[in-house]
Structure 1
Amino acid sequence: MGQSQSKPNRFFNDEEIKMIAQVYNQEGLDAVLPLIKDKCDNLDNEKVTIAVTGESGVGKSAFINAMRGLGPNDEGAAEEGIIEQTSKPTPYQHPTLPSVCLWDLPGIGTTRFSARQYLDKVNFNTYDLFVLITGERFKENDVKLAKEIKKMGKEFYFVRSKMDTVEVNLNEVGQHDRLEEVFDEIRMYYNRSLKESGLPTSQVFLVSSRYPHRYDFMEFFGCLESELPDKKKNVFVLSLPNLTEAVIEKKKKVLRAKVLLAAVVSGGIGAIPIPGVSVACDIGILVVTLLHMRSYLGLDDESLCRLACRVNKPVQELKAEITSPFVLNITPSSVIKLLTSTVSGAAMIADEALLLIPVIGSVIGATVSFTATCFLLNSALNDFAKSALNVLKKAIEDNSEVL
């Protein structure tokens, strides 16, 4: 409790608190929410930049769309086609996490630069990770570029795209039972090629941007995650499309940490002896955190509409899988209603009177705010994650190849 008194305000400084109090007193709760949102948004501004390159026609644009959970016709999608589309580095931000950006780089085979000159031209040092998309065969340019990347101490990943085409071709000749055998042969070819090229420790992932839930995409995601520092890792995990239950569980784990952070913030604000400010900030923190949770778990309207179009199902059919109507109606009033329906939430609001007594109020206010925020957000996170899993199951129902 002593710590709560001595450091009650690590998230907001004194000047910000005074401004929040003034805005609340003059304009009410709705005017406070943007102030809280701006502050909380900074927590997710850790930048993750992934460079994607490869020769013309290997499927870079489709891969970038798959990484962002977009279809070719979605707003903001990279234009897909067999003709080289990229003449200069082109950024594509994640639809819900703008700090995550994939850069479509011109294929080295389409430039007149050496591998070394190419890396300088595309400002290579600005990227966290480098992905080389390959076609049916390793090309000399792929090897040259990979070696230059190695020299600069950066990580790179080979991705063999369009593996669904391999499966389709086997089906057409009645040899689908050889699928595993053929995939093993492809892996052996790449491993042998890497070894012969002096890159024996590199790994190739066999993927399909059309069906990212199949083949090696999930393994590829895990490898990228393991290479990033913790702050970037968390943002990267939240940016992943909801392809499997494992992805949803990963997101849930990251969001658990965010719940704790929000509760600490709430506890710090609860220790501030300014009538009205604690509840205003608590509601603001809850609304913003809940909206972020909903977005990260793909339960916001835009994400659901994109998914509905991709799987060719009515969006209302997906929304019907959401377990709590609260997920679709996150507002200050709905949060207050939910708070007052719980003992801890009611205590948090009733505790406002104690803030008139600075010493007692600062101790009790912080404790109640922390407890109520933790309780509500953890309960909501469980509901949201369950809903996300239900939506995923519905989306792939009767057609496991549409995601």
Structure 2
Amino acid sequence: MEGMEDIEKAWKEGKLLEVVSVVRKTAETVSRMPVSIAVTGESGNGMSSFINALRRLQHEDEASAPIGVVKTTQTRGSYSSFHFPNVVLWDLPGMETTAQSLENYLNEMQFSQYDLFIIIASEQFSMNHVKLAKAIEGMGKRFYVVWTKLDRDFSTSALSNEKILQNIQENIKENLQNEGVKEPPTFLVSNFDPSLHDFPKLRNTLRIDISKIRCHSVQKIIFTICENIINESVTSLLKKIDTGGFQDVLGIQDPNNLGDCLKSYRLFFGVDDKSLKQVAQSIGKSVEEYTNIVKSQDAQTYHQESSTLSWIGNITVFYLCIGLSYIPYYGNSAAKYLNYMEQRRLLESVAKDTKTILRKVLEDFINLDEVH
């Protein structure tokens, strides 16, 4: 992805503000990221017709998905639309068409590759629909339920249109709740007229979710890259601490002064107070939103947050290191080891804070981008 090398370079130089700047530039390419949407359900529910309606195509158009009474789609088909640039709509065969079990269907249809699912239903919201919803929810993926033949429901029922809509919604909700599935966005539409009922709302919701999927995909990629760099930096510094070379790298005068070491580590990772203030201002946030989540702001805070040693315990370690330094050989080795362990805890604490800050920065930036 464009800009990833720049992000890596900026992060290695401890420039969090520069990382944010590169993220802004990278966001300009987000709209070109492909998004895969699977349309699934039971055969005969109008899945192919729905895809055509979503693409604003007539069934007789050359590029339309083939339709029939039942079981028209035997294999996966992919479709695009200029109404949803860089989005692939996958028309999946109905569950009972290709597989004898849900597990086989999920594997055969490669469910793991899709970013969002649309479960199509009509006439009834069956146990197959519920199973699909539960499986998709278990994958942590977003999905919709779309009822596609509302025009037929209106023409064949003696109930009022309002009562029909209410009954359909309640039936879907009840069936999902019985299996412990959280109610998804549900849209009641007619494939014959994509301008009526919930179709406009569906299109708008879909555009918003496509944007979120792209943004969060970028967020995940950037965080993973930066997290790897942070981990590599920790490993490299620990080796230098073990050999005593970290003082030259970070400009630390006294390795026993945890306050100075803490400041140097935060500066090295770009999460010092000055950098956090600049980042907060660039995103339009208060600096307190960032400093309040930092556990290693100063030596005293670090000691208070330590789950291994208390403040008194760390002071004891500090003086123990000094005392042991007067004991020939063993004293020096013990003091060196204790100092190494304390530096390691301190370094890992700052690295953990850095990841927390990075995640918040990315989330705040994405939320800001979605607003605009």
TM-score (norm 2): 0.47
RCO greater where, 1 or 2, for CA within 8 Å and sep 6 or more? 1
* Larger-gyration structure (1/2): 2
TM-score (norm 1): 0.43
